[in-house]
Chains A and B, each alone.
Chain A
Amino acid sequence: MKTAFWLAGATVLALAQPAVAGDTIKIGFVSTFSGPTAVIGNDMRNSFELALDHLGRKMGGKPVEVIYEDDGQKPDVGKQKTEKLVQSDKVDFIAGYIWSNVLLASLKTAVDSQTFLISANAGPSQLAGELCSPYVFSTSWQNDQTPQAMGVYMNQKGVKSVFLIGPNYAAGKDMLAGVKSTFKGEVVGEEYTVWPSQLDFSAELTKAKNSKAESIFVFYPGAAGVQFLNQYAQAGIKAQIPLYTAFTVDELSLPLQKDNAIGIPGAQEWVNDLPNAENKKFVEDYRKKYPGLRPTYYGAQAYDAAQLINSAVIAVKGDTSKKDAMKAEMEKANFKSLRGPFKYGNNHIPIQNFYLQDVVKDADGQLSLKTVATIVKDDQDRFHDKCPMK
């Protein structure tokens, strides 16, 4: 009994032994792993783990250690977790970040300590403009880009007027500003809802219906997107006013939105059926490794983040103290992105295509997303001029 106790103690000690600096590549990953939006964080973690599997769990010949931290969708918690990763774990890279407000709160900590931060989702306008940094890269987009593409599509469809609805936080404001910047018709109304607590949109839907707008545009990520589509359909507005979206219908929300999502177009930089070889492998292996689940754009971006980090580590042969060399390598975007064409602008935000996606029934009779058209090619965000990096 006593021996067993000592053995157990020794094992715990051995496990707790911190890796000697330089022997492993340490990556911190901040995302949401608790609460209603934990499904998004799980998808990002699954995809990041899959990327590591594909890399043989090594980068530049060194083993990789990932420390996942839960931000609980709260900016203050995200900042604390970022501080912990930078100061006590001394990670080489931090990746993740779903929410723009969480990223903005955490940004300074990473930049001040000169730790590379790879945003795998959040893309607040400040990050692309005045707050851009040599140490920050994005594998997603700037928030405005996706709704801008939607605005372009609405022009193509000849839509004359729109009513905008979105959540009242950093990304919500960017999204509505984005669609307004490209949409040529009239913006009849603009409503912001309390985020993330407001889940009943009856007042906003009634206003939209009575505004006589020809269309509605919304941005509601996660479960809020399910609720919005439910209420939109129940109010009978679906038959009257067509809906255009950004980040509202994805593989996580679709099983809950079901038929409510049919016929609702969305803009996206990645869709599961993009025809390049890397993407096919990603989607196939993801569904094999996590039965019953399907990857989302959140996951695809996290996968790209791992590939980007890998490219930097290989370039310096695992010596992560060579920050300038790693930065120079990452600026080249020397990896095969799942979305195909991908390069960086001066502000480290991708220049990329945006696609129109639609909901269809696939071969298994399940609802899934499908690429219909390319809306814009090689799109660069509209804040890159404000970034002092040239």
Chain B
Amino acid sequence: MEDLKLVISPSPHVRDTDTTEGIMVAVLISLIPVLAAAVYFFGFSAIRLVLLGGATAVATEAVFQKLRNKPITVWDGSALVTGVLLALTVPPTLPSWMIIVGSVVAIVIGKQVFGGLGHNIFNPALVGRAFLTASFVGSMTAWTGPFDTITRATPLVVGAARVRLPDLFFGSVAGSLGETSALAILLGGIYLFYRGILDHRITLGVLSAVIVMSFLTGANPVYGILSGSVLFGAVFMATDMVTSPYTPRGRWIFGVGVGLIIMLIRTWGSMPEGVTYAILLMNAATPLINRWTRPRIYGQGVQRS
């Protein structure tokens, strides 16, 4: 048994099979129902925007890393996730060049300037979306109804009472590509939860805050959750691992904070919807939340006998 070439490494010597690439692939899989709903309700435009958004994000990341002489890491899938998520938050009629600009901003300003994967403070897709909203207000609020290209108001603008609840649930309303079908979002969310990727504390925190605030402000909580992008934000955006807290209590606080800010903006702000800014604001608060909610360590504060 001489001359064996044995690997020497510190314990542990076995690893879980889940990988970061696997998580990104799972997020993409979870978006399939949302994507299908978007194509069903808004047609070819959905495919156009998602392909452009995703491809631009991947290409931008590769070019940026090449320019900086860094290893090119687009195969981890994170850029693709960002691009696809961004595309799902824009109106179906958004011009192609705008989604490209938004996707470039998401990757460069939202992610790479901070040092790439894992180092960004703000959700990159929402950075892209915020940029688009600020720059192209008209195009970013030109909602069209499902199955047509006639401009309509979203349920948040027309008022909840004038939209049928089944339409809200299945998604047959005007809105951004991915946000209209609650059913599709829930299917994706259940899959992510089952895969151990979606943190229920964040999602439930957002939803419970919206429900409670709806009651307090006299609004209908069911419409509060189903209209606009609350559900999409609570399932796919607020739960972004990189930009949400890593402490157990912090995740509840983060989720509730997002829900509260959404309702503050909706109720008293000048915009009909506030999910993007609510999540970005709580992203900014995440380091502080982490610091304030450190778990009690086993055995600390225990009396010695």
Partners in one complex: no
